[in-house]
Structure 1
Amino acid sequence: MILRIFNQMSGKNRKMKFRVRMMSRKAQRTNVKILKVLFVLFVFGLFISSSFSGAANEFISPSTGQTGYAQAERFLPANATSSIFNASVDPHWITGTQSFWYLRNSRNGQEFVLVDIQNRSKAPAFNHTSLAADLSSATGEPVDPSHIPLSEITVTPEGLDGIEKIGFEAFNRSWQFTFNKTNAKLTEMPSPPQPEPGESLSPDGKLAAFVRDHNLWVRSTETGEKTQLTFNGTKDYAYAERSETVSHPVTLVRLNETAKPYAIWSPDSSRIATFRMDQRNVSEMHLLQYVPGNDTRSRPWSYRFATPGDEMLPMYEPVVVDVARKKIVAVQSTAQPEVSLMDTEDDVLQWWGDDGRTLYSLYAQRGEKALQLLQTDPVTGKTEMLLEEKGSTFVEASLDYASQPNIRILKSGDVIWFSEKDGYGHLYLYGPDGKEKNAITSGNWAVRLLLYVDENASQVYFLAGGREPGRDPYYRHLYRVSLDGSGLQLLTPEDADHNVVVDPSGTTFLDTYSTVELPPVSVIRNRNGSIIMNLETADIQNITDMGWKPPERFSVKALDGQTDLYGLLFKPTNFNASEMYPLVETVYPGPWTIVTAKSFPVDMAWVNKIFWRAQAVAELGFIVITLDGPGTPFRSKAFHDASYGCLGDAGGLTDHIKAIMELSENRPYMDLDRLGMFGHSAGGFMTAQALLNYPDFYKAGVASAGDYDSRFYGAFRKV
């Protein structure tokens, strides 16, 4: 079937002949013994010496007179994103109100904006000229009203009734700016409690937790007094630390950084839920740093690192620490093996009930084929299992890697549970007895984020993708549905990716929506989805003045002939359809995330950097392609499962080959005789895999920091 599909694809640009070996399943599974670091040097040398070396000389110089490399530099991520204005609204909610402030970055400078949703008003948070003058006078430093160096800003609720009080940090001092319509006053204030590097501040701000000598301590932010809470922690049997498999110990030492405690405070600041991590029996990994700093002698590094197949893993014994009594309460449950949910600095496995009387947690087995929801009494440590789900592959609590689980425990004792048991990620309602009541959502689409539960109205608000016909299934939309599964309603009708934040009262939503063609638009919506306030529309004039045009969105069929795959095709700003262009495919096979941007790339997020680097490379005279193949997330479970237990197949390399051939059918400017690939990390592996398995198709490549042997992944990865 695969050969027949490829044989049917013929065109004047495709001169190479594919051998049967190329499409065989056996050829997909690269022999890990030959994927050594030496191949990276070989790949890079091939890239330099191949026909690509002349590609940069074939572009047509832009009419602006910019050389190719200078034009490309303008589209590097930091340069491109700094040329975009009014692109995002990061709300800082004001306690007890329906108001927030945000920092507006316009082409004229920065402005602090105050939004009052109740009164439908948006205005400068204060008189920037007045504050700048007062701050300059008080400090003796020049202060530009359009770039006031403020941080740690707080707005008091009474500020909404005529007299405003803005607290902030500037020039390493604390200030309060009090003003109304006629008067203003700047006053230096005592510095408020702030966490130091490596500390976690308590909810009431009075204590900061930190780790010293592998034990948990707290520091009074008022007096500076430090109190030890645990006493028997050791290097490999430590409190509130993650294992060296996931914590990057060499990097921490080299950068002189301190990790925050792997722990969560109770809402009343009286307890800390954490783990005692045990890696005493984990094998060591040894590295050699050839040129450490300015030294000429190599430096060895050793740390404990568990790999797939190892019998001994880092284990985490859950405990609750009573801060006032300095008492350790052992949680009565099995020690947690290290899993992918722990591949983040934030502890997403545990969370407190609103009243702080109950600790909830997830227990994931090694391999993540089973997931349990546990309930713990923090006073006694008594623990019971509320529900459990098992599967033949991974059982996930969210489609976003190592993120907050899409789980809620309601006041009634019912549980909203996320599951892919019907083939897509959906929400289900379970009773306190652990038995399923009903599906809340269903269908051939996926829930991405559980946003808010209105228990009084028995309604759930969530983001999901793939439900709306004819739209990119990766686009997130806001929906509302009743807990019994009835009344599903789309609240964001725009055909775009919606990044939604709910206000603390759950009555309105801040929605910033965009596509790679549509710059971000930020609005406030009510519970019915109606727009009640317009906040910002991004200004991309500087980008378009460079000649930039959005990349082409495309979809192609996978090798199965049924599944749609989605990607982007980037062209240089001086594109000429009568010319022939070499191709570069930028890849990341997953399975943790995707490589193709869905929203407008306004910041330095990982996928956005890939977007702008692709445009920069295109400026050198290339067509650049990104594509997300089978084994990557955010689609059906079957789509993601393609990489479970066979990480080398993630991304579907043969699907990529088919896609490129299909795209070139009606794009004669694509020169398949000059096709290369670039990838970093897992993308580096895929690049080496492509060159070694399909050298007749991929002629050159650069594999950056490739994971060439999955046996050296952390054991928590599902390889």
Structure 2
Amino acid sequence: MTRLHDTDYARAEQMLAPYRARRVPGAAVDPQWCAGGTRFWYRAGSRFLVVDPGEGTRRDAFDHDRLAAALSVAAGRAVAADDLPFPAIDLEVRREGAEPDAVRFSAFDALWEWSDRAGTCVRVDEPEVGPSEVPSPDGAWVAFRRDGDILVRSRDGEQEVALTDDAEPDHGYGFLPEPLNSGMLMRRFGLDPLIVHWSPDSTRLLVPRIDQRDLPEQVLVESSPAGGGRPVAHRVRYPMPGDEAQATLAWVVLDVSARTAVVQQSDPEPLLHPGALVTAWWTGDKGDAVHLVHRSRDVLTLELRRLDPSTGELTTLISERGATRVDPTPVLGETPMVHVLATREVLWWSQRDGWGHLYLYGPDGAVEQVTRGQWLVRRVLWVDEERRQVVFLAGGLVDDDPYVRQICRVGLDGTGFTRLTDDALDHDAVGPPGGGYVLDRASDVATPPRSVVRGGDGQVVVELEAPDTSALEALGWEPPERFRVTAADGTTPIFGLLHRPHGFDPDRRYPVIDCIYPGPQVHRSAPGFDTVVPGEAEALAALGFAVVTVDGRGTPGRSKAFHDASWGALDDAGSLVDHVAAIRELALRHPWIDTERVGITGHSGGGFATARAMLAHPDFYTVGVASAGNHDVGWYVPMWIEWYHGAVDDEARKALSTPALAANLRGRLLLIQGELDDNVLPFHALRLVDALIAAEKDVDMLIIPGVEHSLLGRRHYATRRTWDFFVRHLHGTEPPRHRLAPFPIPGSGSG
């Protein structure tokens, strides 16, 4: 029995994001590109830095001390240089007469402009660009939405022009469709995201017109509204899998000067995922055409289409169909690997040979394979049309770990393949809009990202950050073990991470917790630094648990066959049998792992997998905490089952229903659910509870009022209750009385 104290909880709390991030400043270099990508800025701890790869320079974006002092005087508020009251800056100030080094930022509900050269910090009176507005590339116009219609105003606020006037409720322009729009979260912050794409010459807007009228509604009840009073009902448009009626999308081109609208000529298409709204882009310096990636509703067909912005005519350039899902990327949410060249050739990513490789389509339809082998292209970084080369990330080139990514280059004719990095580090590299260089963030589980800028030949142009872990180590942190074990089929190697308990004693036996997210759209246990929801697993390790994360068969990042193991088998939640096999094999290697005390926890899809594991493998998993789990997947958002399972019928719904397994429960299960979750509606948890009651099974449940899918604002409470549950039922002791502080809101303070 392990007795925990307040100090143990306090130490575990410091393992959580963003607390741990503050102890490794510079580990997260998130580039914010300036126009054309010729330079970028980023934050490292409390500092703003600007990088110019062409000049090979990295410097402070401004004098932090002088700006803080000047802003304190100008705003009449105390400002510290190491805690500046703004999360972002604008380096491209277009005001006539502005100093060349001018920087703009928003603070204290106002727009400010600072110049190191002039030493002045002045309030700018022109209208501020809001979070739901999109400025044109030349800065002359700002697009926004009002009552569903699209308008533009001049940057100085002197002109305002309506470009559409026919929007209706639930049938308008540039909004995110429900239910995957995080509407409850956006409402909390007063946000209403606008989806528009400016043409490169700032003359036109490509806008999606969304129709979600007449879709079935679900009702969420806010039991405890701010200020008290009666409960408030919130209605959410929420179609289900297999429903014929779905939100639809049609593209429209709006001309700012001519005040015209050109609508795509084909019928609107079903819209199951908001990612379709960002997989469209202008091509040519002035926007000669629009290209878009289109997926059929059953995701068995993937197409590249060309939209003529002057006529609305849609032309299919590439069409690929498969027996199972045809993806545009290995991982959902990444930018499709499609590049239209000035020569009218198209570089296209496909898994048609069983791996993810690049193919070059000629204007005449001829196809040549550019990359090949038992590895995959993970991300295209830069297409150098002049040199006829492509720089990309590849996975599977490091023998002992297929998930490690390396930066490579190859000619568009398939010759001259070169690894630009040749080490065991995982390279999470990105390229700017205009190419010319890559930002390389290289790490492993023990080494925080070492960030550099590399040129097209792989040479280091600018050194950026090389953080260390000494501040984390002082709190008891040590790197997790990257492991390879054998899947339940007895042959397939699978990978994961093992976090040892803090204060590890090899002569003791420790309970183990499976920290799960099953995919199948993402993988969980990458080989880089802090890739599992930062601190989530490490905090549990700080409480004396061994913690594992596993990528079983059916998750992405490897071969097509490996990923397809989840097709038609979504009920196995990323191959739970592989998780069981992995933990058993780890226990053979490490006798201090106690397989008689195995817990499991996860959020969202991880919540589904947690409850599923408790009911499908009740002899193995004895304690589970399932947060926001979509337990009755056949009645979740259409995208999940239609894209990642296939068939939508009564048989599939029954197979995917965790409540149908309620009679199997033997261990201790805690369900956590936000009352305003508009992604995984609360009925999922309640249906499972109802089935458990009918089966005379005991279950613990926590409904958190007023929070949505992310549990924002109350996540600290849910986290503490999760810890308490595992301490009681895996350690077998009462938890301490320590209470976690509310987690800082992302973007609201220093990072």
Residue of structure 2 equivalent to 1:239? 173
Residue of structure 2 equivalent to 1:209? 143
The answer to whether residue 385 in structure 2 is matched with residue 449 in structure 1 is no
Partner deviation per Cα, 1:501-525 (whole Å, 9 max, x = no partner): 3356633322111111112211232
Residues 336, 363 of structure 1: 8 Å contact kept: no
Quick one: which of 188, 194, 204 aligns to 1:261? 194
**Against the structure 1 CA distance between its residues 660 and 266, is the aligned structure 2 distance closer, same or farther, given a 3 Å change threshold?**
same
Residues 684, 705 of structure 1: 8 Å contact kept: yes
The answer to whether residue 207 in structure 2 is matched with residue 278 in structure 1 is no
**Against the structure 1 CA distance between its residues 396 and 354, is the aligned structure 2 distance closer, same or farther, given a 3 Å change threshold?**
farther
The answer to whether residue 8 in structure 2 is matched with residue 72 in structure 1 is no
| Greater shift in the superposed pair: 71-80 or 700-709 | 71-80
**Against the structure 1 CA distance between its residues 178 and 534, is the aligned structure 2 distance closer, same or farther, given a 3 Å change threshold?**
closer
Q: Give the Å deviation of 1:693.
A: 1.8
Ranges in structure 1 where 5+ consecutive residues have no aligned partner: 1-54, 602-606
Q: 1:665 is paired with a residue of what secondary structure?
A: helix
Q: Give the Å deviation of 1:396.
A: 1.3
Quick one: which of 123, 126, 132 aligns to 1:198? 132
Q: Give the Å deviation of 1:581.
A: 0.7
Q: Give the Å deviation of 1:373.
A: 1.1
Structure 2 counterparts to residues 29-178 of structure 1, below 5 A: 56-57=2-3, 67-92=7-32, 99-105=39-45, 110-149=46-85, 153-155=89-91, 165-169=101-105, 171=108, 172-178=110-116
Residues 155, 164 of structure 1: 8 Å contact kept: no
**Against the structure 1 CA distance between its residues 553 and 320, is the aligned structure 2 distance closer, same or farther, given a 3 Å change threshold?**
same
Q: 2:129 is paired with a residue of what secondary structure?
A: coil
Residue of structure 2 equivalent to 1:663? 586
The answer to whether residue 609 in structure 2 is matched with residue 680 in structure 1 is no
Residues 462, 480 of structure 1: 8 Å contact kept: yes
Q: Give the Å deviation of 1:410.
A: 0.6
Residues 93, 103 of structure 2: 8 Å contact kept: no
Q: Distance in 2 between matches of 1:157 and 1:142?
A: 25
Residue of structure 2 equivalent to 1:477? 406
The answer to whether residue 514 in structure 2 is matched with residue 590 in structure 1 is no
Quick one: which of 386, 411, 425 aligns to 2:342? 411
Residues 371, 389 of structure 1: 8 Å contact kept: yes
The answer to whether residue 309 in structure 2 is matched with residue 370 in structure 1 is no
**Against the structure 1 CA distance between its residues 640 and 128, is the aligned structure 2 distance closer, same or farther, given a 3 Å change threshold?**
same
Q: Give the Å deviation of 1:149.
A: 4.4
Q: Give the Å deviation of 1:270.
A: 1.6
Q: 2:423 is paired with a residue of what secondary structure?
A: coil
Quick one: which of 250, 264, 280 aligns to 1:331? 264
Q: Distance in 2 between matches of 1:212 and 1:157?
A: 27
Read off the aligned partner of 1:219 and give its amino acid letter. Answer: R
Percent identity reads 38
Structure 2 counterparts to residues 428-467 of structure 1, below 5 A: 428-436=359-367, 438-467=368-397
Q: Distance in 2 between matches of 1:456 and 1:613?
A: 45
Residues 415, 429 of structure 1: 8 Å contact kept: yes
Q: Distance in 2 between matches of 1:393 and 1:713?
A: 21
Residue of structure 1 equivalent to 2:616? 693
Q: 1:77 is paired with a residue of what secondary structure?
A: coil
The answer to whether residue 291 in structure 2 is matched with residue 360 in structure 1 is yes
Residues 306, 313 of structure 1: 8 Å contact kept: yes
Residues 509, 593 of structure 2: 8 Å contact kept: yes
Quick one: which of 314, 322, 329 aligns to 1:398? 329
Residues 252, 264 of structure 2: 8 Å contact kept: yes
Q: 2:438 is paired with a residue of what secondary structure?
A: strand
Q: Distance in 1 between matches of 2:85 and 2:465?
A: 22
Read off the aligned partner of 1:544 and give its amino acid letter. Answer: E
Residue of structure 2 equivalent to 1:548? 477
Residue of structure 1 equivalent to 2:556? 633
**Against the structure 1 CA distance between its residues 671 and 95, is the aligned structure 2 distance closer, same or farther, given a 3 Å change threshold?**
closer
Residue of structure 2 equivalent to 1:425? 356
Residues 200, 282 of structure 2: 8 Å contact kept: no
Read off the aligned partner of 1:87 and give its amino acid letter. Answer: A
Q: Give the Å deviation of 1:640.
A: 1.4
**Against the structure 1 CA distance between its residues 173 and 690, is the aligned structure 2 distance closer, same or farther, given a 3 Å change threshold?**
closer
Q: 2:452 is paired with a residue of what secondary structure?
A: strand
Residue of structure 2 equivalent to 1:652? 575
Read off the aligned partner of 1:643 and give its amino acid letter. Answer: S
Ranges in structure 2 where 5+ consecutive residues have no aligned partner: 646-751
| Greater shift in the superposed pair: 461-470 or 350-359 | 350-359
Q: Distance in 1 between matches of 2:452 and 2:89?
A: 23
Q: Give the Å deviation of 1:119.
A: 4.8
**Against the structure 1 CA distance between its residues 81 and 203, is the aligned structure 2 distance closer, same or farther, given a 3 Å change threshold?**
same
Q: Distance in 1 between matches of 2:283 and 2:388?
A: 22
**Against the structure 1 CA distance between its residues 221 and 476, is the aligned structure 2 distance closer, same or farther, given a 3 Å change threshold?**
same
Quick one: which of 535, 544, 559 aligns to 1:612? 535
Residues 348, 403 of structure 1: 8 Å contact kept: no
Read off the aligned partner of 1:687 and give its amino acid letter. Answer: T
Residue of structure 2 equivalent to 1:300? 233
Residue of structure 1 equivalent to 2:486? 557
Read off the aligned partner of 2:156 and give its amino acid letter. Answer: E
Q: 1:640 is paired with a residue of what secondary structure?
A: helix
**Against the structure 1 CA distance between its residues 533 and 268, is the aligned structure 2 distance closer, same or farther, given a 3 Å change threshold?**
closer
Residue of structure 1 equivalent to 2:665? none
**Against the structure 1 CA distance between its residues 359 and 533, is the aligned structure 2 distance closer, same or farther, given a 3 Å change threshold?**
closer
Q: Give the Å deviation of 1:147.
A: 4.1
Q: Distance in 1 between matches of 2:37 and 2:572?
A: 51
Whose Rg is larger?
A: 1
Residues 420, 426 of structure 1: 8 Å contact kept: yes
Residue of structure 2 equivalent to 1:580? 509
| Greater shift in the superposed pair: 484-493 or 287-296 | 287-296
Q: 1:176 is paired with a residue of what secondary structure?
A: strand
Read off the aligned partner of 2:559 and give its amino acid letter. Answer: S
The answer to whether residue 495 in structure 2 is matched with residue 566 in structure 1 is yes
Residues 602, 610 of structure 2: 8 Å contact kept: yes
Read off the aligned partner of 2:398 and give its amino acid letter. Answer: E
Q: 2:19 is paired with a residue of what secondary structure?
A: helix
Q: Give the Å deviation of 1:141.
A: 4.1
Residue of structure 2 equivalent to 1:42? none
Quick one: which of 490, 497, 511 aligns to 2:426? 497
**Against the structure 1 CA distance between its residues 608 and 219, is the aligned structure 2 distance closer, same or farther, given a 3 Å change threshold?**
farther
**Against the structure 1 CA distance between its residues 703 and 190, is the aligned structure 2 distance closer, same or farther, given a 3 Å change threshold?**
closer
Q: Distance in 2 between matches of 1:216 and 1:209?
A: 7
Read off the aligned partner of 2:115 and give its amino acid letter. Answer: F
Q: CA RMSD in A?
A: 2.7
Q: Give the Å deviation of 1:151.
A: 6.0
Q: Distance in 1 between matches of 2:39 and 2:186?
A: 39
